[in-house]
């Protein structure tokens, strides 16, 4: 199978999972909503990457793929650890609170501070969260058993995101579209195999089997050097 075929099938499968999922409703299971939203984020950002690749505008692709990786880490962490979804959101909200109080005018931002504080307290009470554990990106990746992806792929794409000199030089030396596509496909297919373990679909096992088949095809292409061709 060629790269183009896996891209088409991967996005089609992820889109099907989202389409089959129960529409989000008020009061729906928090974990389901968390996984659904990150799955949808991966799908939408992935479509943006493909539009950029098709038009030859590759410079911002690593930045978008990095965000996709973050969603994947959080999605899989929530699937593997049911309590992680609410804990991650609490950690995110409380981090935002800390930044607002430190960097911005506390008087002008009082409504936002009050709203975020109330939201955090409500989540802690509803989900029995007593820990102040910081769910940063590495913590999510390790909970998802994707620590290697964090140390390799996330590190690589972070240079572009933070506009480091090394990241800019790497863009000058190589286009990197093969690396972008390889990572994007892994994210999309991995998201399918995990999302259907939490969000409801008509045929979850069928989706898992299909994602496993596509992942094997991706690994074959990696071994054959197919993803290096676009960068030559």
Each residue's pLDDT tens digit, 8-46: 999 999 999 999 987 555 446 899 999 999 999 999 999
Pair 76, 190: CB distance under 8 Å: yes
Task: Say whether 202 sits in a helix, a strand or coil.
Answer: coil
- pLDDT tens string 50-68: 999 999 888 899 999 999 9
Name residues whose C-beta falls within 8 Å of residue 212's C-beta, 6 or more positions apart in sequence.
Answer: 193
How confident is the model at residue 230, as a pLDDT? 61
Sign of the Cα pseudo-torsion (62, 67, 68, 70, in order): positive
Question: Residue 175's pLDDT is what?
Answer: 54
* pTM of the predicted protein model: 0.94
Q: Tens-digit pLDDT profile for the chain (232 aa)?
A: 899 999 999 999 999 999 998 755 544 689 999 999 999 999 999 999 999 999 988 889 999 999 999 999 999 999 999 999 999 999 999 999 999 999 999 999 999 999 999 999 999 999 999 999 999 999 999 999 999 999 999 998 998 889 998 888 877 766 578 999 999 999 999 999 999 999 989 999 999 999 999 999 999 999 999 998 665 5
Structure tokens at 56: 């030859």
The pLDDT value recorded for residue 228 is 83
Say what the pLDDT of residue 23 is.
Answer: 59
Residue 106: helix, strand or coil by DSSP?
coil
The predicted structure's pLDDT at residue 13: 97
In this prediction, residue 153 carries a pLDDT of 93
pLDDT at 110: 96
* pLDDT value at residue 26: 45
The rounded percent of the chain whose pLDDT value lies above 70 is: 94
- 6 CB contacts (<8 Å, ≥6 apart)? 185, 214, 217, 218, 221
Q: Are 41 and 71 in contact (CB under 8 A)?
A: yes
Give me the sign of the Cα torsion angle 71, 74, 80, 82.
negative
CA dihedral 42, 43, 47, 48 (to 10 degrees): -40
User: According to the model, what pLDDT value does residue 174 have?
Assistant: 62
């Amino acid at each position: 199978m060629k790269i183009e075929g896996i891209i088409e099938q991967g996005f089609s499968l992820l889109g099907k999972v989202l389409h089959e999922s129960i529409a989000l409703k008020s009061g729906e299971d928090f974990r389901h909503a968390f996984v659904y939203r990150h799955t949808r984020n991966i799908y939408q950002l992935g479509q943006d990457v493909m539009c950029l690749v098709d038009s030859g505008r590759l410079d911002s692709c690593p930045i978008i793929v990095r965000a996709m990786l973050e969603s994947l880490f959080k999605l899989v962490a929530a699937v593997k650890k049911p309590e992680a979804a609410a804990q991650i959101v609490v950690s995110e909200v409380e981090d935002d609170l800390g930044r607002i109080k430190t960097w911005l005018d506390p008087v002008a931002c009082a409504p936002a501070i009050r709203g975020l504080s109330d939201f955090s307290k409500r989540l802690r009470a509803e989900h029995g969260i007593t820990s102040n554990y910081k769910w940063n990106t590495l913590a999510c990746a390790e909970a998802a058993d994707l620590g290697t992806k964090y140390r390799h792929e996330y590190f690589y794409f972070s240079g572009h995101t933070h506009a480091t000199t090394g990241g800019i030089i790497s863009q000058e030396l190589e286009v990197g579209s093969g690396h972008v596509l390889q990572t994007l496909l892994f994210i999309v297919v991995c998201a399918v195999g995990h999302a259907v373990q939490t969000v409801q679909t008509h045929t979850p096992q069928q989706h898992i089997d299909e994602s496993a088949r596509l992942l094997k095809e991706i690994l074959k292409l990696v071994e054959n050097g197919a993803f290096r061709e676009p960068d030559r």
